[in-house]
Amino acid sequence: METIATRFAPSPTGFLHIGGLRTALFAYLFARHSGGRFILRIEDTDRTRLVQGALQDIIDNLRWIGIDWDEGPDIGGGHAPYQQSERKEIYREHAMRLVRDDRAYRCFCSPERLAELRKNGNGTGYDGKCRNLTHEETEKRAKNGERFVIRLKTPLEGETSFDDMIRGKISTKNTIVDDTVLLKSDGFPTYHLANVVDDHLMEITHVIRGDEWISSTPRHIILYDAFGWKPPCFAHVPVILAQGGGKLSKRHGATMVREFRERGYLNTALLNFISLLGWSLDDKTTFFSMQELIENFDLSQVTPSSAVFSYEKLDWFNGMYIRKTTDDELYDLIIPHMTAAGLVRENTMPGYEDYIRSIVPLIRERLKTLSDAPGLTRFFFDDCFEIREEKALIPKKGNIDDALRILRETLDRLETADPFEEEEIEARLRKIVADLDMKAGTVFMVLRIAVTGSKVSPGLFETMRVLGKERVLSRLAAALDTVARMEKNN
């Protein structure tokens, strides 16, 4: 029984896209579920479009999500090298083999002639002009220094079919498939040649890739036949669409994995979310660890229909996974974001650590992403505290005098609170509500704005406890001065 082998073969012409990550995940899960091999291969033959740092970005983000590989550019393996730019001679040898076997030919047509063909409506882009040149003629022209590409001799009739593991049988008439360029004039292979040669030499049994490659698969099947090789099984996973339709793009939000990391999405949440873009176990199981995905993944449960990317659902997943963390874990996760926001300075961390740890439980339920932490905690730091809307200190169904009474009573009652703990704080504030004969919501909103600067914050009593007596009294006094000034200016 042959060993299952899959691969992920990204091009470092950009940073890892969420769609690429989903394709890599499905290929990885299929291999691991079958006890097979998973290979990372880098298709970097398009030298003009390479992006600096893209290769490392791909490696880092695959590992971050929990995907590892048995062979790859960073760890080597039995089928090295794993960057196509280092395999140039292998492709040239295979292309020339096809020329010798009369399954491919040298084409000397200029780019200008090809452009003219396309301009005049040639459906395939090439009319086969050089297809029937004699071997002697092409050898002579090549030796004279004429530039040429090598093209595959596509059958002129019949059709090419393959069984897609997700979509079933797909057939294409050979008349609509042109004579594919295999080797460019600069000696570098096209995607089609490099892809087929590498998949064969690396013993890939199952090619799992995005459905944008369906139209290229007939070319690959024909190429496998030309070499006399058995083609692998193919599975084309559905495209990921934005909500409302259309290709997922930057205008919808983050699309690169690095962006999701920077915005504070947990790898476990993103993993779980993308695993359900086109695949499901049943109609009730929602949460999966990597090990559970490996145990349950089956290509037969991948739908051919396009998957819709919902940022709202991802936020929900992320919030759920954040709430599964311990206080210590969440502390470690939010510190980089709070440091980047200037709330925490690394050289003052020892003094702040216990204080920040006391804040963590208050914001856990409100976090959608880790990057929300600075906004939710800013008011805890004196240098950042401000009441942006001073008029909000005046109750909606009240007046300046009500605000003054609330703030004066609270200052007076909390000054003697000892210990300054939640139960004691709550008892005194509820007594104020009763004594002032006001609604709790009215009183607590004024106090919330006074001590946090915002209408939205964690629980008032817990927040006051963490802020501490000195800070709370100072902010209440400042708020009282603000309202008194407002009264004077009226």
For tokens 């145990």, the residue is: 295
Comparing C-alpha atoms, which of 363, 269, 274, 264 is closest to residue 317? 269
250 is catalytic: yes
Is-contact 37 279, C-beta < 8 A?
Answer: no
- Which letter does DSSP use for residue 300 in this model? G
Contacts 24+ apart (CB under 8 A), 378-385: 378/341, 378/343, 379/451, 379/452, 379/453, 379/454, 379/457, 380/355, 380/466, 380/467, 381/343, 382/471, 384/343, 385/453, 385/475
| Concatenated DSSP letters of 7-75 | EE---SSSSPBHHHHHHHHHHHHHHHHTT-EEEE-B----GGG--TTHHHHHHHHHHHHT---SBBTTT
Residues 300-303: contacts with CB under 8 Å, at least 24 apart? 300/165, 302/26, 302/166, 302/235, 302/237, 302/238, 302/278, 303/166, 303/238, 303/278, 303/279
Distance separating alpha carbons of residues 183 and 189, to the nearest angstrom: 4
Locate tokens 């401000």: which residue? 386
Nearest CA to 22 out of 208, 206, 275, 234 is that of 275
Catalytic residue of the set 119, 143, 230, 250: 250
Cα→Cα distances 393→198, 389, 413, 443, 461, Å: 69, 8, 19, 10, 18
CA distance 387 to 379: 9
Strands (E), 262-392: 307-309
Instruction: Calculate the CA 43 to chain-centre distance.
Output: 20
Give the Cα separation of 436 and 421 in Å (integer): 23
Positions marked active-site: 250
